[in-house]
Amino acid sequence: MVFPMLLAYLIATPFLAALFIVSLKPSENRLIERTVQAAALIGAALCVNILMTFESGATFIVGKYLALDALSLLLTLIISSVGCVVAFYAIGYLRQEVKKNIIGPRRVKQFFVLFELFLFAMLVAANAANPVLMWIAIEATTLSTAFLISFYNKPTATEAAWKYLIINSLGLLIGFLGTLLFLALPQGMSEGGIMTWADLRAAASGFHPVVVKVAFLFVLVGYGTKVGLVPMHTWLPDAHGKAPSPISALLSGVLLNVALVSVLRFKGLIDLSIGDEFSSMLLMYFGLASVVIAALIIFAQRSYKRLLAYSSIEHMGIIALGLGFGGVGTLAALFHMLYHSISKVLLFLASGNILLRFGSTKFEYVSGVIRALPITGSLFLAGFLALSGLPPFGMFFSKFLILSAGTESHFGLMIVALVALAAAFYGFFRHVSPMLFGPLSEGVERGEAQISTIVPLCILMGVYLVFSFFFPEPILAVLHDAAGMISPK
């Protein structure tokens, strides 16, 4: 009973926090902030408790609606830990926005209610025991984040929110059609109840080969829209570029992974049914297209937040490549997922500090970041180097292993990906170098704003550096178990 109760408490924590914040007056900002901090710490503590006592290879069922296995635990760990750091950063970030009259004090309550509901929906999606609940939860993330993307009520932000809402809703509708096809494939498995993932895996060997291919294609296109895979990526740069920086961090560092793992759940079913050749081929080509297109578009960017958004498309493509290559590539892809979450959240939070100081996300108005914000600028540079996969950062090893996995049987794809990655690095460096090291923009003050927007960045950088050389045994075991679930071979 321990695991079901801990999981239930973990998922309920942000939802209860949102309800409590709703009951507060908008003027009670300090109490709202304390509630957000308490929920973040409780969620992180519960997740660590689950991680430390999780048994390798186990699956814990909580009724027909929730289940915990290695893959969902990996996602839960990312959601809870990153969510905790972002929550503390968001408090300091919104204080600065209120101080600068960017938003009114009443908007703080609205932000944190939607923020907690966003975390709640992602936790439900990560631990859903059946595909229908998972789809509902992912759709719920679309609704909660649409209001956050349009948070500043600017025409461009409203346009980005509508684009995000329409494209993702249509994509998830296609994904739902694929889900219904998967649910219709088993013969005589369920009498009026919703089939769980375990039920579908048990019946997978009897799936019709043609129907299961069509179903998986619908799922990949549908949920791939949420992942940001090319060509379903068009919403992502606008949404990530216009949302408040803490939300951009969660969208890129967490939500994309939740959607990708949803695809992997269905990949497990089709692999059990007809083998992994079909699903791997689709993941490889969608992944390669994402890497190549993102690398080309990075050169034309004029905004550092949009630059980071296209970088997210590139890295989701890298992860998809690793999953498509299989074998060691699968494990490397999960390592890459973890590294990308930490580094991308770091960069988006740092970009929030830069935006607060310079008042613009466009490169032409931002120069001399290192001089104006020495700690933020240094951490942004370190995050860029980490994200680019330069040694000794951990992403160097995950990229190397992913490309190595494709050398033997997909050498051509690997070469194209390698050239695209080199181009992406040059394009990124071409934009970031003058922004960080150029002359200080006229009229810009020097010095960090406040410690509450610096400490979260330092924590993320410290964790990334530790994980580049050493992984705690419980996390390493979860990564290996999750890779085994995706690619049993």
Report the Cα 309 to chain-centroid distance in Å. 11
pLDDT value for 410: 83
Taking only the tens place, the pLDDT of each residue in 357-405 is 888 888 888 888 899 899 999 999 999 999 988 888 889 999 999 988 8
**Do 395 and 467 meet the contact criterion of CB atoms below 8 Å apart?**
no
Check residue 359 and give left, alpha or beta (phi > 0: left; psi -120 to 50: alpha): left
**pLDDT of 405:** 86
Q: What is the pLDDT of residues 398-414, one digit of tens each?
A: 999 998 888 877 888 88
- Summarised one tens digit per residue, pLDDT across range 297-318 is 988 888 899 999 999 999 999 9
pLDDT for 120 beyond 90: yes
Q: Name the band, by pLDDT with cuts 50, 70 and 90, for residue 204.
A: confident
Give the whole-number percent of the chain exceeding pLDDT 90. 48
pLDDT band at 188 (very low <50, low <70, confident <90, very high): low
| Length of the chain in terms of residues written | 489
pLDDT at 351 (0 to 100): 93
Q: What CA dihedral angle connects 320, 463, 33 and 105, to 10 degrees?
A: -60
Report the distance separating Cα 329 and Cα 9, nearest Å: 34
Question: Cα separations (Å) of 60 from 206, 327, 373?
Answer: 25, 26, 47
Residue 489 — pLDDT band, cuts 50, 70, 90? low
pLDDT at 441: 76
DSSP-derived secondary structure for 167-235: HHHHHHHHHHHHHHHHHHSSSS--SSSPPPHHHHHHHGGGS-HHHHHHHHHHHHHHHHHHHT-TTS-TT
- Percentages helix, strand, coil for the chain (3-state, rounded to 5) are 80, 0, 20
At 187 the pLDDT is 65
pLDDT over threshold 70, residue 3: no
Give the pLDDT of residue 90. 94
Instruction: Report the C-alpha gap between 154 and 465 in whole angstroms.
Output: 38
pLDDT of residue 283: 93
Which of the four pLDDT bands, split at 50, 70 and 90, describes residue 106? confident
Mean pLDDT score across all residues of the chain: 88
The range of the structural domain enclosing residue 473 comes to: 2-486
pLDDT at 488: 59
Overall average pLDDT of the 242-268 stretch? 92
| pLDDT at residue 349 in the model | 94
- Integer Cα distance of 472 and 54 in angstroms: 14
Statement: residue 189 has pLDDT above 80: no
Tokens of 257: 């992974």
Would you say residue 44 has pLDDT above 70? yes
pLDDT, average across residues 263-279: 90
Tell me, what's the pLDDT at 192?
52
In single-letter form, the type of residue at position 361 comes to T
Tens of pLDDT, residue by residue over 335-358, are: 999 999 999 999 999 999 999 888
- Give the pLDDT confidence of 399-457 residue by residue, as tens digits: 999 988 888 778 888 889 899 999 999 989 998 999 999 888 777 788 777 888 899 99
pLDDT interval class at 155 (50, 70, 90)? confident
Per-residue pLDDT at 396:
92
pLDDT for residue 458: 94
pLDDT of residue 263: 93
- How large is the C-alpha radius of gyration of the chain? 21
Measure the CA–CA gap between 206 and 386, rounded to whole angstroms.
45
* pLDDT of residue 190 exceeding 60: no
C-beta atoms surrounding 412 within 10 Å: 9
The arithmetic mean of pLDDT across residues 282-295, rounded, is 92
Comparison of pLDDT for 242 and 123, the residue scoring more: 123
Domains in the chain, number:
1
